Amino acid sequence: MSKKELIIELLKKYSDNFICPHCKKNLKIVDTSFTCENNHCFDINKKGYLCLTSLSSLPNSTIYTKELFVSRRSVINNGIYNSIHVEIIDLIRKYISIPTSILDIGSGESSHLNKICEKLSLEFKCAIDLAKDAIELSSDYVYNDIISLVADVENIPLVDNSIDVILDFLSPGSKKECKRILKENGIIIKVLPTANYLKEIRRELGHKEYDNEKLVEDNLKKNNTILETKKLEYTMPINKELSNDIVKMTPLTHNFETSKLNIKEITISLKILVLRPL
Ligand SMILES: C[S@@+](CC[C@H](N)C(=O)[O-])C[C@H]1O[C@@H](n2cnc3c(N)ncnc32)[C@H](O)[C@@H]1O
Distance CA 201, CA 184 (A): 41
- The amino acid that residue 176 corresponds to is K
pLDDT bracket for residue 260 (50, 70, 90): confident
Q: Which CATH code of 3.40.190.10, 3.40.109.10, 3.40.50.150, 2.40.50.100 fits the domain covering 55-277?
A: 3.40.50.150
| Distance from chain centroid for Cα 216 | 18
Mean of pLDDT values over 230-253:
95
DSSP state of 26: B
The finding on whether 156 has its CB within 6 A of some atom of ligand 1 is no
Whether residue 258 has pLDDT greater than 90: no
What is the distance in A from the centroid of ligand 1 to the CA of 129?
6
The finding on whether 34 has its CB within 6 A of some atom of ligand 1 is no
Mean of pLDDT values over 1-13:
97
Domain ranges across the chain: 55-277
106-163 pLDDT tens trace: 999 999 999 999 999 999 999 999 999 999 999 999 999 999 999 999 999 999 999 9
Would you say 167 and 129 are in contact if contact means Cβ atoms under 8 Å apart?
A: no
Distance CA 145, CA 126 (A): 9
Select from 184, 181, 186 the least CA-distant residue to 155: 181
**What is the reported pLDDT for 96?**
98
Number of Cβ within 10 Å of residue 140's Cβ equals 19
Whether residue 218 has pLDDT greater than 90: yes
pLDDT bracket for residue 58 (50, 70, 90): confident
The finding on whether 154 has its CB within 6 A of some atom of ligand 1 is yes
pTM over the 0.95 mark? yes
Q: Phi and psi dihedrals of 90, rounded to 5?
A: -60, -40
The finding on whether 170 has its CB within 6 A of some atom of ligand 1 is yes
